[in-house]
Structure 1
Amino acid sequence: MNRLFIVAQAELARRLSRELEGDGFSCYVAQPQEDVSHIGAEVVLVEVGEGQPYQKTEELCRALKLERRLPLVALVSKNAFAAYAGELKTLLCDDFILEPYDRQELLLRITKLIGEEKHAGDQQLVIGDLVINLTQAEVFLSGRAVELTFREYELLRFLASHPGRMYSRDALLNSVWGYDYFGGDRTVDVHIRRLRSKIEDAEHNFIDTVRNMGYRFRKQE
């Protein structure tokens, strides 16, 4: 399922989220004042001119485009267009749509951007709300970045690449740490515990313990 992140005032964010989820997207929302520097999504919709000064929106778009390299669609209200028409070209957005936001037009623009990004081609593993970007070595849960150590990332990548398959601690040591690693196999338990604390909660369970044997990444329905 394609993921959208909507940065907009609450009423607009709820309406767009409801409409786009009906079209098969998984939507996450944030208010313009929130820190969204670590979000991850196929496309980000950013409301312009409402809820925060134009300069702040410009800085946000610049950060998301240059640092996160995310495709952006600017949602430009009538008031914002009247006030900033000459400045909109400075926004580092891939596309613009003017109020009123027609659902079909917005859907076409989003779908086009997603197609272009997939053609450009970051490789990803998508498991429910968990996204592992194999090209950038990044992990996102429910649209937000998860900070992992190198070994935690490699352990997650390996297990998620083989869902449903059980691996013993020795097998994980050999595959993730390497054959020349001489530490005890309990280091696997420690890293699994730390990894679970970062990607699992009441709504998300990805790694199963196979008693007296090892671990496996759960197959998602």
Structure 2
Amino acid sequence: MMKQLLLVDDDANIRTLLRYFMSKEGYQLHEAKDGLDAVKLMTETPIDLAVIDVMMPRMDGLDLCEHIRQNYDIPIIMLTAKDQLLDKEQGYLRGTDDYVTKPFEPEELVFRVKALFRRYNRTSNDIIRMNRIVIDRRNIEVSDGQSILFLPMKEFELLSQLAQYPGRLFSRDELIHLVWGADYEGDERTVDVHIKRLRQRFAEYADDFTIQTVRGIGYKVEVKER
């Protein structure tokens, strides 16, 4: 899937420049001119990484960084015209992962974006994303970016197993073994019951992912292109 980047900067020239360079790298760039616009955009569009200018009207980059860190698990790069240690300290305290000082070379920002994605891919094995839906296996939580969605344990384990390998078909026997254990002696139709409940719970997120049935075999998760 194409990575979705958010650029928040009140300078239209910088937005135009980075739109060109990021599209060359295969990224989809979403743009906002200030923090409030960015907050609204993130409620409507799944974002994989944010690049944020510090000095902006209405809601500055530091406050936006803090908001993102409290509500989303994505990498953040801050842009600033200042190169003072105190300013960088404030950025890191609010939750930024990296800092780039203006003026900068667009290629450098591209390198930093790639490096952050590699770092997050290595450290976020317990995080599974299906557009708006985020599964946190370590804390046993599912969220939609706005609130926590509470699932019974077996439903959580079943969804996690399917979501970890989008597009892969699992037989009922495999899912019984992986979720209920090799010594489970019940009816394999319990998988069907749990799948039905998951579909009901996540019916409003059909634009993000679906659980598909392959008749006579089993189930798979398909994540929608956004």
Q: Shorter-chain TM-score category?
A: 0.5 to 0.7
Structure 1 unaligned spans of 5+ = none
Instruction: Please give the alpha-carbon distance, in whole angstroms, between the structure 1 residues aligned to 2:30 and 2:146.
Output: 13
TM-score normalised over the length of structure 1? 0.63
Map 1:20-169 to 2 at 5 A.
20-30=22-32, 31-33=34-36, 34-35=38-39, 43-54=49-60, 57-65=61-69, 68=72, 70-77=74-81, 81=82, 88-89=87-88, 90-92=90-92, 93-119=96-122, 121-123=123-125, 124-125=127-128, 132=135, 134-135=137-138, 144=145, 147-151=148-152, 152-162=155-165, 163-168=167-172
What is the aligned length?
Answer: 207
> Once the 2 structures are TM-superposed, how far is the Cα of residue 104 of structure 1 from its aligned partner?
0.7
Offset, 1:218: 3.9
TM superposition shift of 1:149: 2.6
SS of 1:109's partner is: helix
Hey, what does 1:215 align to over in structure 2?
Answer: 219
Residues in 2 aligned to 1:26 and 1:40: alpha-carbon distance in whole angstroms: 11
Counterpart in the other structure of 2:196: 189
Out of 68-77 and 127-136, give the one that drifted further.
127-136
Larger deviation, residues 3-12 vs 14-23: 3-12
1:23 deviates by 0.9
The CA deviation at 1:211 is 4.5
- Relative to the length of structure 2, the TM-score reads 0.62
- Code of the residue aligned with 1:60 in structure 2: it is L
Residues 7 and 32 in structure 1, CA contact (< 8 A), matched pair in contact too:
yes
Residue 126 to residue 62, structure 1, CA distance change in 2 (3 Å): closer
Q: Evaluate the alpha carbon distance shift between residue 71 and residue 161 of structure 1 in structure 2; reply closer, same or farther with a 3 A threshold.
A: closer
Deviation at 1:47, TM superposition (A): 1.5
Asked if 1 retains the 8 angstrom alpha-carbon contact of 2:169 and 2:218, the reply is no
The amino acid of 1:113's aligned partner reads: L
Shift of 1:106: 0.9
Render the CA deviation track for 1:163-214: whole Å, top value 9, x for unaligned.
332444x87577546748899754531322322432x22xx55421334765
Secondary structure in structure 2 of the residue aligned to 1:73 = strand
Q: CA shift at 1:96, angstroms?
A: 2.6
Matches within 5 A, 1:8-19: 8-9=9-10, 11=12, 12-13=14-15, 15-19=17-21
Task: Name whichever structure is richer in helix by fraction.
Answer: 2
Q: In the alignment, is the contact (CA less than 8 A) between 2:209 and 2:224 conserved in 1?
A: no
C-alpha distance in 2 between matches for 1:14 and 1:138: 38
**Closer/same/farther in 2, CA of residues 219 and 76 from structure 1, 3 Å limit:** closer
Identity of aligned residues (%): 22
Q: 1:214 to 1:32 in 2, by over 3 A?
A: same
RMSD of Structure 2 on Structure 1 (CA): 4.5
